Amino acid sequence: MKANVCTSFATVALLMVVCFSSGIAQDKAIWTGTWKMVPEKTQFANGDGPSSIVIKLELKEGAVTETLTVGTPGGERNFTATYTTDSKPSTQDVLGGTAQTTAKWDGAALVIDFKREGWGFTRKINLSSDGKTMTIAVHHSGDNGEADETVVLERQSS
């Protein structure tokens, strides 16, 4: 279960970055803000995922900064990362190790790849046309096989 929660945590983090940066056809300022998971609309692999997810995003000149807080049975976990949206690799410290990440636009969606020894995931983040809902499609792959998840978040009032 701990591995599933850690994988879900990392997946959500990357997905949020993808959503935040996907404003090619939209005003990118709309991505900046605080986003909270809607549990009843979210689907984790095997039904096993974090109890809560809050993502704070900020987009500035081709870079996305994400602060992710995930509620787990062992308490809250926090993750902060900065990505560029030009497909250039970067290194992130996460879950006691390092991961290689890339981020790029795919139409109006931001796609973030996250790779670490033995596992990785891709997050594809989209924002609704009204700017109130963020949907993150996550694909995990690793030694334990592959899985797909969908995380739905809503914008929080300032």
- The pLDDT of residue 98 is above 70: yes
Instruction: Give the residue, 31 or 96, on which the prediction is more confident.
Output: 31
| Distances from the Cα of 90 to the Cα of 86, 87, 121, 135, angstroms | 11, 9, 15, 24
Q: Pick the more confident residue, 29 or 136.
A: 136
**More reliable by pLDDT, 29 or 78:** 78
* Residue 55 · residue 33 · CB < 8 Å: no
Give the number of other CB atoms < 10 A from CB of residue 87: 11
| 11 Cβ contact partners less than 8 Å away, ≥ 6 residues apart | 114, 121, 123, 136, 138, 140, 149, 151
Average pLDDT over residues 20-33: 60
On the question of pLDDT at 6 being above 60, the answer is no
Per-residue confidence band for 30, with pLDDT thresholds at 50, 70 and 90: confident
Mean of pLDDT over the chain: 84
Does residue 151 have a pLDDT over 60? yes
87 sits in the region (left: phi over 0; alpha: psi -120 to 50; else beta) called left
Phi, psi of 16, deg, nearest 5: -65, -40
CATH number, domain of 33, equals 2.40.128.20
Q: What is the pLDDT of residue 46?
A: 81
- Looking up tokens 């009204």, which residue turns up? 130
Judge residue 80's burial from the number of C-beta atoms within 10 Å of its C-beta, 0-12 exposed, 13-18 middle, 19 or more buried.
middle
The total of structural domains in the chain comes to 1
- Prediction pTM value: 0.80
Structural domain range at position 100: 2-155
Higher pLDDT, residue 2 or 25: 2
Strand partners, 148: 139
pLDDT digits (tens, 9 = 90+) for 53-75: 999 999 888 899 989 999 998 99
Residues in the chain: 158
pLDDT in tens, 102-149: 998 898 888 989 999 888 999 999 999 999 999 999 999 998 899 999
What integer pLDDT is reported at residue 18 of this predicted model? 44
